[in-house]
Structure 1
């Protein structure tokens, strides 16, 4: 199991949180996803044998929230 922190462009509305969390929670391989609105970060716990961090970045970006940087541990 891996943990990733995805730094986004500044989020402008609280409804962004639900959109991102709902989409990621339905994505295979992602165990949990939490959006930190004030810091514009997404914390995700995922099974790296099922999904790569780059795929998570792509999913978030497709929702309209560009990922500036990613840290995986």
Structure 2
């Protein structure tokens, strides 16, 4: 399992967090219990199985629901 942090464009409403969390959790290989969106920092952090997915796939899922991803880091 790897941990990823995605930097998002500034979040403007709490309901944005729910949409972003749902998008990240929908990607096979993401540990849905670890998905956390920080409203104050405009970041989403999660753990994923790198044999099943990658951070870029999750970023694309989030962008599909209308939230630009500005940066990605994986540890």
Quick check: TM above 0.5? yes
Task: Quickly name the TM-score band, shorter chain normalised.
Answer: over 0.9
RMSD of Structure 2 on Structure 1 (CA):
0.9
Q: Between Structure 1 and Structure 2, which shows a larger proportion of strand residues?
A: 1
The 10-residue stretch of structure 1 (16-25 or 5-14) with the greater mean CA deviation from structure 2: 16-25
1:24-67 CA-partner distances (Å, limit 9, x unpaired): 22321000311000000000110010001111111111111111
Instruction: Indicate the residue corresponding to 1:48 in structure 2.
Output: 50
Distance 1:37 1:61 in 2: 16
Structure 1: gaps spanning 5 or more residues? none
Distance 2:26 2:57 in 1: 14
Q: Give the total of aligned pairs.
A: 73
Instruction: Indicate the residue corresponding to 1:4 in structure 2.
Output: 4
Report the 3-state secondary structure (helix = DSSP H, G, I; strand = E; otherwise coil) of the residue aligned with 1:6. strand
TM value normalised by structure 2: 0.91
TM value normalised by structure 1: 0.93
Structure 2: gaps spanning 5 or more residues? none
Equivalent positions of 1:1-73 (< 5 A) are 1-31=1-31, 32-73=34-75
